[in-house]
Each structure stands twice: as C-alpha cells, then as structure tokens.
C-alpha cells in the first residue's frame, strides 16, 4: 500500500482519450443548448465555462469548454491543453485578440484576457493547487510554464 510520500510522476490518459472526452463534453453542451455541461466552482472544485475566442488565422469564432475558478469578479483558467506540451489554441487566439465571450451556468459574459504574472500568478496558482494536489507535478510534464489566464469583465463595444 503506497504511503503519503509516493512521488511517482503523474500518469495521464492517452492523448486520444483526452481529446475524445473534450469532444464528447462539447457535443453534449451543444446538443442540450447549454443546459448540460457547465457548472460553477464550489469549494475546492473548479467550474466549467464555454469560452468563445476569435481564431487568429481564420477570424472565425471558436468555442471550447475550459475549467475555471472565480477570483472576485474575474475568472481564472490554466492554459494547459490537457497537460500536453503545446499551448492550447484558445490561449494562442486570446494572445492575438484578448476580447472574448464566456458562457457560464448563470449566463453570458464579455471578458478580456491577460496572463497573470509575479505575485498575482503565484497567488492564483496556489488557488488552483487547492483543487489539484499534484498540480506542480502535472505542470512539470510541460517544457514551458503554464500560463494563468485572467478573464476580466468588459463592456460591450458599440456596433458589435
């Protein structure tokens, strides 16, 4: 029986299985017109939102289900791509065009994205660590630092 000092590297599901789960989650969300698939964070559990970005190459809207925590009026996500080494496309899109829309269990919201840095990043990373005890071990599987993405509320732009 393993003790509490078990430091084996975390095992991740095969990439194909992760992508299948993401596709199924997104399909259920769309088929139910948003009635199933989103939930609010509660206690030490993260919530899910549908994040819609503008494609940096196509200019078309792209939607993805992303885990998040709340930090005051902001939403906080990790740009982790299922812990694969590549950056998630949604984060690449947000770096190019930080204005986005999110669907939450309580309704839609317009947001502007930015990467947290310094003490703010450390504080938010510690919050995420409360939801996942092996967060640092999982992050070590990537060759780059995982961005902590802050989605701040924004006002609609006239004419859009």
pLDDT value at residue 21: 67
Structural domain contains residue 98:
yes
- Higher pLDDT: 143 or 22? It is 143
Structural domain contains residue 62:
yes
Number of domains in the chain: 1
The pLDDT-based confidence of 158 (bands split at 50, 70, 90) is low
Structural domain contains residue 76:
yes
In this predicted structure, the answer to whether residue 1 has a pLDDT above a threshold of 60 is: no
In this predicted structure, the answer to whether residue 160 has a pLDDT above a threshold of 90 is: no
Structural domain contains residue 1:
no
Structural domain contains residue 94:
yes
User: Which tens digit of pLDDT belongs to each residue from 103-151?
Assistant: 999 899 999 999 999 999 999 999 999 999 889 988 988 899 999 999 9
Structural domain contains residue 144:
yes
User: Which tens digit of pLDDT belongs to each residue from 60-87?
Assistant: 999 999 999 999 999 999 998 877 888 9
**Whole-model pTM over 0.85:** no
Structural domain contains residue 29:
no
Domain that residue 95 falls in = 38-153
pLDDT value at residue 113: 98
Mean pLDDT of 24-53: 83
Structural domain contains residue 12:
no
Planar angle of CA 50, 55, 61, nearest 5 degrees? 50
CATH number of the domain residue 123 falls in: 2.30.110.10
């Amino acid at each position: 029986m393993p003790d509490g000092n078990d430091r084996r590297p975390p095992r991740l599901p095969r990439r194909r299985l992760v992508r299948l789960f993401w596709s199924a989650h997104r399909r259920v969300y769309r088929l139910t017109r948003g009635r199933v698939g989103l939930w609010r964070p509660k206690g030490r559990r993260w919530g899910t939102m549908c994040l819609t970005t503008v494609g940096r190459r196509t200019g078309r809207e792209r939607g993805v289900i992303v885990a998040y925590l709340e930090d005051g009026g902001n939403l906080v996500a990790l740009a982790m791509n299922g812990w694969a080494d590549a950056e998630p496309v949604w984060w690449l899109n947000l770096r190019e065009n930080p204005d986005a829309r999110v669907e939450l269990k309580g309704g839609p919201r317009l947001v502007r994205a930015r990467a947290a840095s310094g003490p703010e990043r450390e504080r938010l990373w510690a919050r995420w660590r409360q939801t996942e005890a092996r967060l640092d071990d999982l992050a070590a599987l990537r060759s780059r630092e995982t961005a902590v993405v802050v989605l701040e509320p924004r006002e609609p732009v006239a004419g859009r």
